[in-house]
Amino acid sequence: MQQNGSQAQRPGTVPAVDQAPVLPGLRLMRPLDLGGTAAVYLYEQEGLNRPVAVKVALQGSMDRQTHQLFLREAKNLAKLSTHPCILSIHQALVSDDGRDCLVLEYAPGGSCKTIMLKGGMDQESVLDLGVRMASALCCAHERGILHRDVKPSNFLITDQGLPVLADFGISSGIYGSERAGGLSIPWAAPEVLANRSGGSEASDIYSLGASLFGMLAGRSPYEYAYQARNEDHLARLILTAETPVLHMGEASPMLSAALEKAMAHDRDDRYYSALEFGRALQEVQQELYGHATPFIGEGIDPYPKAYAGPHARIAVIAGREECKESGRPWTGARASSQPRLRPDSEAVTDHEGSQARHFPGGSRRLILLGLILAIVLALALAWALVVGLPNGSERGSRPTTGSSQVQSQQMQSPDPTDSSDPQALQEGPVPSPTQGQGHYQGTTAVFTWVNPDPKPADSYVWHPLDQGGTGDRGRSVQTRQPTARIDSPQGGQTCISVTLVRADRSMSQEPTIICAVQ
């Protein structure tokens, strides 16, 4: 965590160092930020030398309301911290002077609010951010938790340059009816501002859509489209004015339509779930850039079925020879993982170092150009076979290896892996696990696999499949070890799906399916 208190922020203010509590096993480094009910300090865990952000209540634990807020946030984060797009909690404790404290993951990159105020992100980065935050909300909603304060300042940037959802301080159960205190008006849904709802999945989806709009526009949607005099006037605009639309050229029509649906005034007109919103954003990515950010969720396919289809990588099944059906149609599985500023703002180097320009429908034009080049090349080769090669060789003769003719043909042939991002070509996509083995040890199914290209801090996400090895069944598990165990499985065959996850949280294009047969 970098800068969030629990409620409204006072930008530019920091808590006093002498007010920081003395905490066992933690050494105070410096203050970070001050909020309405909490201060945030940077500590270092002794022995581990790991920086952590400690959120400290301004009131003692005897203040029942503050204590309940901290207790709720701690419990909710504990349920959600295994998700790679949600800020992790390490510990909850009470200081010697009676203040509640949450020991949280430290996100040194700050928040997306800072990026927004500097001009915002480009379209590709906003789509990547949107899919990640949609998967985080989906995880929370599946566990019965509403965030109720989704906004750019609660998207924090980790030391890997990736966004995580933070600050569940005013979260609640899905069936809770109390009004969300401390909500942020620019990002709040109309029904919440009108006191018709204390928050719902639909209002979280609205706030995510508004936040992505803001990351593109550099301002919240209604501040972008209208001249609000103050917060009261802004709230009235959100309740009564038409839903803002981005200007031509600031986003593709597909993305504009997706955001407009997410921010629909009537919540019944919005996406019915965070998963549906995330899928819509993935489809925009696929259409514009030929790849999509994987959606991470328990028992959820990382990619839309319309694109992924049944083409999973099949690994060794109980010692049988590995086979592969076919690859996913993603042409570039890893979306740019680090947020980038819009072209008209201060330059920030993205994770891939790319300065590529993206235009709506660009992937279709590249495909058309490739087809034209292929046809021209085929005609030229056919003509050479009929009338003889230009250097006088007889028809059907084969040029020697390394000849100028072969080199010329190689130079003129279109390269299907051509990319405007040389570093992305060099790194390549994240590979799938290989050499999968499955067997039974008594009543336990045991699975192992091999990482074909190990990197520091690699991990794996696996989840059970049905007996046919196709449909998802059961919750996902993240592990550092290339092995998995399922106790007392049902049926004569047990299968799992395994995906390799890098330290920057990018994932394999295709999962590996491993089965054990009794």
CA-nearest of 510, 338, 332 to 427 is 332
Half-sphere exposure of 59 (CA within 13 A, CB side): 13
Encode pLDDT of 407-426 as tens digits. 333 333 333 334 344 444 34
What is the pLDDT confidence band of residue 292, given thresholds at 50, 70 and 90? Answer: very high
**Are 195 and 319 members of one domain?**
no
Residue of 148, 270, 342, 505 marked active site: 148
pLDDT for 421-478, tens place per residue?
Answer: 444 434 678 899 998 999 888 788 889 999 999 988 888 888 888 765 555 555 677 7
Considering the domain architecture, whether residues 291 and 321 belong to the same structural domain is answered as: no
Instruction: Please report whether residue 256 resides in a domain.
Output: yes
139 shares its domain with 183: yes
Whether residues 130 and 47 share a domain: the answer is no
Domain CATH code at residue 67: 3.30.200.20
Summarize pLDDT for 64-115 with one digit per residue, the tens: 777 777 888 888 888 888 899 999 999 999 888 888 899 999 999 999 999 9
Residues 31 and 89 in one domain: yes
User: Which DSSP category does 63 fall into?
Assistant: S
- On whether residue 396 sits in a domain, the answer given is no
pLDDT tens digits, one per residue of 370-384: 677 777 777 766 655
Q: Do 318 and 463 sit in the same domain of this protein?
A: yes
As a residue count, the chain comes to 518
Separation between Cα atoms, residue 172 and residue 274, nearest integer Å: 17
Of 23-32, 238-247, 357-366, the one with minimum mean pLDDT is: 357-366
**148 is annotated as an active-site residue:** yes
Domain that holds residue 485: 312-332+428-517
Strand partners, 487: 444
pLDDT, position 60 = 60
Question: Which tops the pLDDT comparison, 303 or 468?
Answer: 303
Q: Say if residue 179 is in the same domain as residue 242.
A: yes
Q: Are residues 117 and 260 in the same domain?
A: yes
* Total number of domains in the chain: 3
Tens digits of residue pLDDT in 201-237: 999 999 999 999 999 999 999 999 998 899 999 999 9
Q: What is the dihedral of CA 147, 149, 152, 157, to 10 degrees?
A: -40
pLDDT in tens, 114-128: 999 999 999 999 999
What is the CA 71 to chain-centroid distance, rounded? 27
CATH number, domain with residue 326: 2.60.40.10
Tell me, yes or no, whether 280 and 265 share the same domain. Answer: yes
Q: What is the C-alpha radius of gyration for the chain, rounded to an integer number of angstroms?
A: 26
- Residue 289 is assigned to a structural domain of this protein: yes
pLDDT of residue 334 exceeding 80, the answer is no
Query: Does a structural domain hold residue 278?
Result: yes
Residues 249, 252, 257, 260: is their CA dihedral positive or negative?
A: negative
> Is residue 326 domain-shared with residue 467, that is, in the same domain?
yes
